[in-house]
């Protein structure tokens, strides 16, 4: 196994408070040793052990690779027209999903996979090294299972979202669609997935339907995550906490009871500011959640309808500017927070034994990700110890 030592890192975020200063465990003039796919050592450059190969970071900052715990990348087609209409004043509705369902069903496996690979590469160049992605634009047993089969070739974090909206084929009989999602479709999809998700929202699935879907998934060995409280107040967040879901995603409209439930449970509040940006909706209030003691993650929600960005740095900038997070909090949420939302301990931190996933920034510290929004600061990325081609 080849070892590599990266020296002269101006500021290293380890996300381990015991290894450095502050909650991010920062080390100045640091070095990291990669041994194959894992981190073998971190500490000051002056104490760095020798390795087979050396890389000089020339004072750049280093951070753990981003953990994007929420995306919808198995799709075809484009919704530029819908975006244009929204920017002219039309509001976002869950029904737009149907446009993508039509295009996705019509696409070949090769087209869907090529699209996925393209967006994963795009995200990787911007520092994302762990990706979750979902089905949800097929809504037939065949189309959901093929989406997950394709996704599972590219990531371990695959989520079955047959319950994205009621399939247009079942418009007159939503109960029969829930039976399909919890029956034959679940059986076909479960082998490819780690997670089950449901869009619990007006126009999608109500609390009782969501509970039935998540419970059926858990009986098949899938763990729960929930699209909750995005467009309106609703039962999604409380249900997520009650079922010990790893994450409640969106969390835009929260009552005090919702905030208290998140603060008191193990469910991470995953905030997706790209969606509020692209739908011109109110921002989720990260400060309110953090002050109450909830754990917050940040993700892109990359999808062709409500949030067509693969950029975690962009989401960090929005979170700092508009959701009242500090730059340190936003960086933690985009790395360690995402890992917690996926119940992972091997990513989102740079400590011995963690996966060798990191990004070097053309900046003296991670604060520049918010301070210099829109600037491509991610310079070099290592994923599982391999340098990602620029």
Residues within the interface to ligand NIG (CB under 6 A): 72, 96-97, 100, 199, 227, 230, 275, 301, 303, 305-307
Structural Rg of the chain based on CA atoms = 20
Token look-up 């999809």 returns 189
Q: Is residue 154 part of an annotated ligand binding site?
A: no
State the number of CA atoms in the 13 A half-sphere of 285 facing the CB: 10
Q: Which residues of 342-376 are buried (b: 16+ CB within 10 A; e: fewer)?
A: bebeebbbbbeebbbbbbbbebebbbbbbeeeeee
Q: Is 197 in the site for Fe ion (CB under 5 A)?
A: no
- 305 assigned to a ligand binding site: yes
Q: How far apart are CA 30 and CA 9, in angstroms?
A: 5
Nearer to ligand NIG, 82 or 285 (CB): 82
- Total residues contacting Fe ion (rule CB under 5 A)? 1
Q: Count CB-CB contacts under 10 A for residue 239.
A: 23
Minimal distance, residue 300 CB to Fe ion, in Å: 9
- Does 253 show up as a binding residue in the annotation? no
341 binds, among ligand NIG, Fe ion, none (CB under 5 to 8 A by kind): none
Q: Please report how close the Cβ of residue 123 comes to Fe ion at its closest, in angstroms.
A: 15
- The smaller minimum CB distance to Fe ion, of residues 129 and 159, is found at 159
Closest approach, Cβ 137 to ligand NIG, in A, equals 7
The answer on whether 152 is annotated among ligand-binding residues is no
Minimum distance, C-beta of residue 301 to Fe ion, in the bound complex (Å)? 5
- In the numeric block, the tokens 């740079």 are attached to 350
Question: Which of the 8 DSSP states describes residue 71?
Answer: B
Distance CA 253, CA 275 (A): 13
Strand runs (DSSP E) across the chain, as ranges?
Answer: 3-13, 26-35, 38-44, 53-56, 61-64, 66-68, 128-134, 157-163, 195-200, 223-228, 247-250, 268-271, 296-298, 358-361, 378-383, 386-387
Residue least distant from ligand NIG (Cβ): 305
Q: Is 383 annotated as a binding residue?
A: no
Q: Is 137 annotated as a binding residue?
A: yes
Taking the complex as a whole, the smallest distance from the CB of residue 296 to ligand NIG amounts, in Å, to 17
Q: Answer with the entry of Fe ion, ligand NIG, none that 275 interacts with (C-beta below 5 to 8 A by kind).
A: ligand NIG
Q: Which residue has the tokens 């003296």?
A: 364
Nearer to ligand NIG, 10 or 338 (CB): 338
Given the complex with ligand NIG, which of 146 and 250 has the nearer CB atom? Answer: 250
Q: Is 227 annotated as a binding residue?
A: yes
Residue 344 tokens, joined: 């992972």
Q: Which does 225 bind (CB under 5 to 8 A by kind): ligand NIG, Fe ion, none?
A: none
Nearest to 104 by CA among 66, 78, 71: 78
What is the bridge-based pairing of β-strands 268-271 and 247-250? parallel
* Segment 285 to 304, residues that bind Fe ion, using CB under 5 A: 301
366 binds, among Fe ion, ligand NIG, none (CB under 5 to 8 A by kind): none
> In the bound complex, what is the minimum distance in angstroms from residue 271's beta carbon to Fe ion?
12
**Which residues 6+ apart lie within 8 Å of 171 measured at CB?**
none
- 96: partner contacted, choices Fe ion, ligand NIG, none (Cβ within 5-8 A by kind): ligand NIG
Ligand-binding site membership of 303 (annotated)? yes
Query: From CA 14, how far away is CA 361, in angstroms rounded?
Result: 14
Q: Does 157 bind Fe ion (CB under 5 A)?
A: no
Residue 199 contact partner, candidates ligand NIG, Fe ion, none, CB within 5 to 8 A by sort of partner:
ligand NIG
Q: How far is the CB of 371 from Fe ion (least distance, A)?
A: 28
383 close to 354: Cβ distance less than 8 angstroms: no
| Residue 327 CA from chain centroid, whole number | 18
Residues 6+ apart with CB under 8 A from 48: 5, 7, 31, 33, 41
Minimum CB distance to Fe ion, residue 203 (Å): 14
| Residue 244, both tokens | 């010990």
Residues near 94 by Cβ (< 8 Å), separated by ≥ 6?
Answer: 165, 199, 201, 202, 203, 204, 231
Answer yes or no: is 70 a known binding residue: yes
Binding site, annotated residues for 4-imidazolone-5-propanoate: 79, 137, 164, 230, 306
Binding site, annotated residues for Zn(2+): 70, 72, 227, 301
Binding site, annotated residues: 70, 72, 79, 137, 164, 227, 230, 301, 303, 305-306
| Residues that bind Fe ion in the complex, under the rule CB under 5 A | 301
Binding site, annotated residues for Fe(3+): 70, 72, 227, 301
């Amino acid at each position: 196994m080849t070892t590599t030592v990266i020296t002269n890192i101006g500021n290293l975020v380890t996300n381990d408070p015991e290894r450095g200063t502050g909650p991010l465990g920062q080390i100045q003039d640091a070095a990291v040793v990669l041994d194959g796919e894992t981190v073998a050592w971190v500490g000051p450059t002056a104490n760095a052990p020798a390795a087979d190969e050396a890389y000089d970071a020339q004072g750049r900052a280093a951070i753990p690779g981003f953990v994007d715990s929420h995306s919808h990348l198995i799709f075809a087609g484009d919704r530029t027209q819908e975006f244009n209409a929204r920017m002219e004043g039309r509001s976002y509705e869950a029904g737009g999903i149907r446009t993508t369902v039509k295009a996705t069903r019509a696409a070949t496996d090769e087209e869907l996979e090529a699209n996925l690979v393209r967006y994963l590469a795009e995200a990787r160049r911007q520092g994302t090294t762990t990706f979750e992605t979902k089905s949800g634009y097929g809504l037939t047993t065949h189309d959901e299972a093929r989406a997950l089969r394709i996704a599972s070739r590219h990531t371990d974090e695959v989520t079955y979202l047959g319950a994205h909206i009621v399939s247009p084929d079942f418009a007159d009989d939503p109960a029969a669609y829930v039976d399909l999602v919890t029956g034959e479709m679940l059986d076909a999809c479960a082998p490819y997935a780690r997670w089950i998700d449901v869009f619990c929202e007006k126009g999608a699935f109500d609390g009782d339907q969501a509970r039935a879907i998540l419970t059926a998934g858990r009986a098949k060995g899938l763990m729960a995550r929930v699209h909750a409280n995005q467009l309106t107040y609703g039962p999604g967040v409380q249900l997520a906490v009650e079922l010990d879901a790893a994450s409640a995603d969106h969390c835009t409209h929260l009552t005090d009871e919702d905030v208290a439930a998140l603060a008191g449970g193990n469910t991470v509040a995953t905030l997706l500011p790209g969606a509020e940006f692209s739908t011109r909706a109110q921002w989720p209030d990260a400060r309110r959640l953090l002050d109450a003691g909830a754990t917050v993650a940040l993700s892109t929600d990359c999808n062709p309808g409500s949030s067509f960005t693969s950029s975690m740095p962009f989401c960090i900038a929005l979170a700092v500017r508009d959701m009242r997070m500090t730059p340190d909090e936003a960086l933690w949420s985009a790395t360690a927070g995402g890992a917690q939302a996926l119940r992972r301990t091997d990513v989102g931190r740079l400590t011995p034994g963690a996966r060798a996933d990191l990004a070097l920034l053309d900046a003296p510290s991670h604060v520049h990700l918010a301070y210099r929004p829109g600037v491509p600061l991610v310079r070099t990325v290592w994923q599982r110890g391999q340098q990602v081609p620029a």
